[in-house]
Amino acid sequence: MSVVRPDAPNEGMGGALAARLQTAVPELEDVRILRRLTGGSSHETWAFDARLRGLERHDPVPLILRREFDHALFDMSLGTEFELLSRLHETGLPVPRPLFHAGTGTALGSPFMIIERIAGLDTRKVMAAGGGTDRGKIGKSLVAALARLHAQQASLIADLISGDGRDAPARELAKWKAVIAASGDRSATLRIATQWLETNSFTVECPVIVHGDYKANNILLKANAEPVIIDWELAHIGDPVEDLAWTMLWTSPDDLVEGMMTPDEFLSEYEHQTGTTVDRRRLLFWKIFSLVKLAAIFLKGLETPPGGVVPRPTLLMLGQAIPCIEQALGDLLLRELEGSVGP
Amino acid sequence: MTASIFERLAGIRQFLGEEILPCVPGDKRGDLRAALKMLEDMAKEIDRLPGLLELEIAEMLHLCDAAVAALGWDGVDQDDLQSLKEFALEFDKPGKRLSELLALHTGICVLVSNLAIQLTAKVAIEPEDQKCLSGPRVVLAKSYRLLRRQAEARTSWQSVFPGGRLYPASGTPIKTIGDG
């Protein structure tokens, strides 16, 4: 018989959630909600332990529950993400093992998925805490994980994602441009940059699976420093250089670029591991795109959520950083006009 | 003496931080900390915004004049030309409220982007040997430089990127167009 333990971890909201989760997934026993985690822009994420019926080893298993909000806009659905994770996991890529998924017709009310909880910390936190004594080595392992992803056949997930990826520059731009337009923002720099991207869009010759949010805090490090890639909701088929530009956007002392290697070293390592040459003109396109995408994400957080949901100050605060994005866009556009764009 | 708006805001922050934050459940603390930080940043913004908006509007109107000259009176979109005249008249009116300045600023931002896009189109069809010295190219570079500088002036009232710089420049400009 399944019983929700009445002890501390299941207090309050967690207790109600544990009971509903157990009803929704009969394979779970002894659900213990541990804590709500920060996470994606349109999902709610909980850490919990539970026993899985039918397993020989009947110890509690560390798990993650992700529930979809009603107002998810730019993330893929959890059902698609679950299928994507399943296929990537089967190839041996370092991703969490997905276990259960359901739509709206369960006791939880909204779509959800359950995946294994990796025993590890996000790379940025490991670095900030002074862990990772060999930063260069860890950096190389993160580049290697990205190179492995980009080596996968795009056809692996082609039936899950719209488009064949050849039109990814225009398609991705249209998606984020719509988010900016819906926000009502009138930034001159964002509009000029968006126009520049439309004018300079191109066709991707060899589309690959793109993570879409590859940065240190979306990569968990296990105790043996092995990386595990999480947060796949922005994945799509497109240009691998898009992932490189997005990774290069994050340059705190605890990030892959500037924290573990310089931008030049990052690109060289990627080129070495993939045997390719990164086209610097395409890199510029994706850098400008990355800034526009980041602005769109921040502006989305400023919108009043539908259905009486209260705006979150953590999201509102991101909107204050739009001038940082405009400054960087002005810099890149000026350098492009002047004919000097470094890595 | 009555406390200033900044002292009252500081008092509210102190109350929320010292009296309320310790009582708030763990999953709400991040949001309350963000709210406290935003109150601090918004106090800086309120302090600087009126003067900054006046300056930015004046700079952008000046830039628009230069863009129109570079595009030629016949080459510029006539709706944009009309908007420029109206914005200049509006800017000259005395005693504007902050909300009116913000609305005017927003309108001029749209105009600046319209003109920059027209300049970009003109630069794109210029012969290669004329590009370095062309009027549209010089004004376009000035536009980017001005927008970059205006954005930089606002980075001090945000806490998301403490250094304030994204994609720090590593390339050395080969040449500088229309700078000074």
CA A309 to chain centre: 23
Looking at residue A316, its pLDDT comes to: 87
Looking at residue A51, its pLDDT comes to: 86
3-state SS class at A201: coil
A331 → closest Cβ in B148, B154, B174: B148
Q: Which of B57, B83, B144, B154 to mutate to test the interface with A (most CBs of A within 10 A)?
A: B144
A188 → closest Cβ in B25, B112, B140: B112
Per-residue pLDDT tens listing for chain A (343 residues) = 333 333 345 555 566 778 888 888 888 888 888 887 765 456 778 888 888 887 656 788 899 998 876 555 566 788 899 999 999 999 999 999 999 988 877 777 788 899 999 988 899 999 998 876 789 999 999 999 999 999 999 999 999 988 899 999 999 999 999 999 988 888 999 999 999 999 999 999 999 999 999 999 999 999 888 999 999 989 999 999 999 999 999 999 999 999 999 999 999 999 999 999 999 999 999 999 999 999 999 998 887 766 666 778 888 888 889 999 999 999 999 999 987 655 5
* pLDDT tens digits, one per residue of B146-173: 999 999 999 888 888 877 678 876 544 4
CB spacing of A317 vs B37 below 8 angstroms: yes
3-state secondary structure A257-297: HHHHECHHHHHHHHHHHHCCCCCHHHHHHHHHHHHHHHHHH
Residue B175 has pLDDT above 50, yes or no: no
Find, among A184, A235, A183, A185, the residue nearest to A208 by Cα: A235
Domain ranges within chain B, ordered by starting residue:
49-158
Q: What are phi and psi of A21, to 5 degrees?
A: -65, -40
| Cα–Cα dist A140/A134, whole Å | 10
CB spacing of B165 vs A320 below 8 angstroms: no
Find, among A97, A24, A22, the residue nearest to A63 by Cα: A97
| Cα–Cα dist A66/A47, whole Å | 9
- DSSP code string of A108-166: T-S-EEEEEPPSEEEHHHHHHTT--S-HHHHHHHHHHHHHHHHTS-GGGSTTTSSS-ST
Element of type H or E holding A221:
strand A219-222
Here the tokens at position A334 are: 């000026």
Find, among A325, A321, A42, A305, the residue nearest to A191 by Cα: A325
CB spacing of A316 vs B145 below 8 angstroms: no
CB spacing of A321 vs B173 below 8 angstroms: no
Side chain identity at residue A187, one-letter code: S
CB spacing of B110 vs A188 below 8 angstroms: yes
Q: How far is B150 from chain A (nearest CA, A)?
A: 8
Average pLDDT of span B130-137: 76
Find the closest chain B residue to A38 by CA distance. Answer: B27
Chain A partners within 8 Å of B151 (Cβ): 189, 323-327, 330
Chain A partners within 8 Å of B116 (Cβ): 188, 192
Find, among A288, A77, A286, the residue nearest to A162 by Cα: A77
Chain B partners within 8 Å of A314 (Cβ): 30-31, 34
CB spacing of A337 vs B26 below 8 angstroms: no
Cα–Cα separations (whole angstroms), residue A86 to A26, A41, A68, A101, A116: 21, 22, 18, 11, 12
CB spacing of A195 vs B177 below 8 angstroms: no
* Whether B68 contacts B122, CB under 8 Å: no
CB spacing of A338 vs B109 below 8 angstroms: no
CB spacing of B167 vs A187 below 8 angstroms: no
* pLDDT tens digits, one per residue of B92-104: 999 999 999 999 9
Beta bridge partners of B54: none
Chain A partners within 8 Å of B174 (Cβ): 338-340
Looking at residue A132, its pLDDT comes to: 63
Chain A partners within 8 Å of B169 (Cβ): 331, 335, 342
| Cα–Cα dist A171/A174, whole Å | 5
> For the CA atoms of A223, A228, A231, A235, what is the dihedral angle to 10 degrees?
170
ipTM of the complex: 0.89
Instruction: Tally C-beta pairs within 8 A across A and B.
Output: 148
Find the closest chain B residue to A341 by CA distance. Answer: B171
| Cα–Cα dist A66/A68, whole Å | 7
| Cα–Cα dist A37/A46, whole Å | 5
| Cα–Cα dist A131/A225, whole Å | 10
3-state SS class at B136: helix
Please tell me the number of Cα atoms within 13 Å of A271 on its side-chain side.
11
Find the closest chain B residue to A339 by CA distance. Answer: B174
Chain A partners within 8 Å of B27 (Cβ): 35-36
Cα–Cα separations (whole angstroms), residue A334 to B12, B110, B112, B171, B180: 42, 19, 16, 12, 15
CB spacing of A312 vs B171 below 8 angstroms: no
Q: Which residues contact B14 (CB under 8 A, 6 or more apart)?
A: none
Q: How far is A38 from chain B (nearest CA, A)?
A: 9
